[in-house]
Every structure is written in C-alpha cells, then in structure tokens.
C-alpha cells in the first residue's frame, strides 16, 4: 500500500492562529487554495476554510482573527498513513481535504491531500 506522502501536496501555505482573517483570505486567494493549516509555531492546531473565514469575517468584522474561525478539533492523517486510510478519513468526516502531519506528538503539518489526489492515485 502506498504512503499518503506519495500523493500529498508538500508546498503548503499555513497561517498563524493569531493572524487576521482578512490576511488569511488574501493568502488563500493568492495561492488559489480553499483551506490553510492553522499553526502555532510549527504545530498544527486547526484548519481554516475559505467558506468559514468569509462567514466569520462578515459576522465579526475586519479585526476578526483566525483562531475565531478555525476548526478544531479536525481530521488529519500522519505521514505513515496509507492512501486507503486517508480516503477512509475523508469519507468518514465528509471532507475533501486532509492535512498530513509528521506524527501525533509533534503535529508538524507536512502536506495536504485532497479527494482528487486520492482518486488520481487509484487510477
């Protein structure tokens, strides 16, 4: 069984939990992504989707912070997970993107995998 690291996107953009939502949304637009890992130092502490960020920004205003809109707890896989295990997590959690961390203790985000990546790997 192939490791999830063989299909994940390694070039990811993260955002600090203390950053402003409008800054996070600008980064998402610039990098053409709809989800960013939320970090405290190098540790993954949440995820932020464009949809949730836009909603919270409209509710809370320009001074809203990422930590007010991030999702935590969140689904993730570790770098030693198989593609099949990641696919099961996506299905079980009704999501299309999954952060990949180095291990459960350090929680350093090393990539993101999408449902499309998994489908393409199965072809």
CB atoms within 10 A of CB 106: 10
CATH of the domain at 62: 3.10.580.10
Q: Which residues span the domain enclosing 39?
A: 4-122
Give the integer Cα–Cα distance in Å for 35 and 98: 9
| Integer Cα distance of 83 and 64 in angstroms | 36
> Domain count of the chain?
1
Helix axes 50-60, 21-31, angle to 10 degrees: 150
pTM (predicted TM-score): 0.92
pLDDT in tens, 65-84: 999 999 999 999 999 999 99
The pairing of strands 15-16 and 97-101 is unpaired
Strands 77-78 and 43-49: unpaired
Q: Which pLDDT score, from 0 to 100, does residue 122 have?
A: 79
Token pair 């809109």 is found at 69
Q: Does the pLDDT value for residue 1 go beyond 80?
A: no
């Amino acid at each position: 069984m192939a490791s999830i690291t063989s299909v994940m996107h390694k070039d990811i953009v993260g955002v600090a939990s203390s950053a402003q939502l409008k800054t996070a949304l600008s980064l998402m637009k610039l990098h053409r992504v709809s989800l960013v890992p939320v970090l405290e130092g190098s540790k993954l502490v949440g995820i932020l989707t464009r949809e949730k960020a836009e909603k919270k920004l409209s509710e809370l205003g320009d001074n809203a912070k990422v930590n007010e809109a991030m999702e935590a707890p969140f689904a993730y896989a570790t770098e030693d997970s198989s593609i099949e295990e990641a696919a099961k997590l996506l299905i079980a959690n009704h999501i299309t993107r999954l952060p990949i961390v180095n291990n459960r203790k350090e929680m350093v985000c090393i990539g993101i995998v999408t449902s499309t990546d998994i489908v393409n790997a199965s072809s």
